């Protein structure tokens, strides 16, 4: 299904935090991305459609945080961002380290105190490993 045909009634449907002025600011930020980055055929006349997709997919975030994430993307990346790229800046996926996992497991084995945060780390690490991600 093409992006412009995304259904309006989806699980992503939440309170839209974007007002008209925020959408204008977002469109300008995406325009800056288009000018400054490798866009491989994206046309300026598509920016309104692109901004609409960003708003629909990122509407649960504060507009200013989305704009800041786009600015961060501009400073660190060369290609045009996707909503997933911006979502990953706003909600980064945890990075896992086997050494940390192993240390926590060893604490459990010897009966040392393991915090709730460490238990959560173990659970997330194991879920990721089982999914093969």
Q: Which of 32, 81, 37, 83 is nearest to 57 (CA)?
A: 83
> pTM of the entire structure?
0.59
Q: What is the pLDDT of residues 92-114, one digit of tens each?
A: 887 888 999 999 999 999 999 99
Q: Share the mean pLDDT of the chain.
A: 82
Phi, psi of 94 (to 5 degrees): -65, 145
Identify the band that residue 117 occupies on the pLDDT scale cut at 50, 70 and 90. Answer: very high
- Distance of alpha carbon 94 from alpha carbon 32, whole angstroms: 29
Q: Which pLDDT value is given to residue 96?
A: 85
Q: Is the pLDDT of residue 86 over 90?
A: yes
Go through the chain and tell me how many residues it has. 133
Domain ranges of the chain: 3-90, 98-131
pLDDT at 81 over 70: yes
67 vs 95, more confident: 67
Asked whether the CA dihedral 19, 76, 124, 101 is positive or negative, the reply is: negative
Rounded distance between C-alpha atoms, residue 64 and residue 58, angstroms: 12
């Amino acid at each position: 299904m093409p992006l412009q045909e995304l259904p309006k009634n989806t699980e992503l449907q939440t309170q839209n935090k974007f007002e008209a002025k925020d959408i204008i600011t977002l469109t300008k930020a995406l325009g800056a991305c288009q000018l400054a980055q490798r866009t491989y055929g994206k046309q300026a006349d598509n920016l309104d459609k692109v901004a609409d997709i960003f708003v629909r997919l990122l509407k649960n975030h504060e507009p200013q945080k989305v704009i800041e994430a786009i600015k961060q993307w501009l400073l660190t990346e060369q290609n045009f961002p996707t909503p997933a790229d911006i979502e990953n800046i706003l909600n980064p996926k945890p990075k896992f380290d086997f050494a940390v996992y192993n240390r926590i497991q060893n604490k459990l084995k010897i009966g040392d105190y393991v915090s709730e945060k460490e238990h959560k780390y173990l659970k997330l690490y194991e879920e990721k490993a089982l999914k093969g991600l």
